[in-house]
Amino acid sequence: MTFEQVESRKISEIVRERIEHMIQQGDLQPGEKLDSVAKLAEQFQVSRSAVREALSAMRAVGLVTIKQGEGTFVNQYDFSQMFDPVKAERIISKKEMLELFEIRKIMEVGAAELAAEKRTSDHLTMLKSALDDMKRASPKDNIGEAADVAFHLAIANAAGNQIMIDMMDQLSDTLRKTMFESRRIWLFSEEQTLERLYQEHFNLYEAIKAGEADEARNAMLEHLSNVEAALVKA
């Protein structure tokens, strides 16, 4: 496939928009494999980290599947769901959400600790990009679940454990659904706001950036426990 050179605006967002447009137009078909990150970066004339961020964001909303060692593949996707938060398929039961939080506390608390020890500059760039997207979330429009998923998947990547990365990839679709529901519930709670939710992610980012493994572990546990508590009260 061929791409025109993109301008430097919010690079990862532009890359994502161009690929999404190709999927919408049918230039990329469900099941089709995208070019490698290196080749996409060369074709777009952007950094590899920008391409990875774009693909991670697309994976978070179910547009693509990233298979370790195989590549990135286009999914069958109804674009009308992207801006329709009340689609039934996005709803997941409270019991399922709470069960997932049990698993997330086992996996992601340790992942945050490892990420603080192993993160690279590219990992920090991906985390900061997702964090910036989260900052722009709004109760009236995009409540930030895609950026939330991208942030947590980036932590798994920063942890540097391939088995954990694969497990988080497999959970990504369920994570997307639960994060939409948990954010929706969070917004309707009188004590919680998007700003506080953002701040918890920011604290986690700062701990990972500083290489403070214990602080990162505690920040992740506190964040997951707070969201879980909001779900229990709902």
Taking the domain 11-81, which CATH number applies? 1.10.10.10
Least confident of 49-53, 100-104, 129-133, 211-215: 49-53
Interhelix angle 11-25/48-60, rounded to 10 degrees, is: 50
pLDDT tens for 102-125 read: 999 999 999 999 999 999 999 999
Q: Which residue has the higher pLDDT, 92 or 164?
A: 164
| pLDDT reported for residue 65 | 87
In this predicted structure, the answer to whether residue 90 has a pLDDT above a threshold of 70 is: no
- Does the predicted TM-score (pTM) go above 0.75? no
| pLDDT reported for residue 86 | 37
| pLDDT reported for residue 49 | 84
Count CA within 13 A, CB hemisphere, residue 96. 11
Give the mean pLDDT of 13-34: 84
Q: Which residue has the higher pLDDT, 229 or 142?
A: 229
| pLDDT reported for residue 1 | 45
Taking the domain 88-233, which CATH number applies? 1.20.120.530
User: Of 234, 192, 205, 200, which is closest to residue 97 (Cα–Cα)?
Assistant: 234
Residue ranges per structural domain of the chain: 11-81, 88-233
In this predicted structure, the answer to whether residue 202 has a pLDDT above a threshold of 90 is: yes
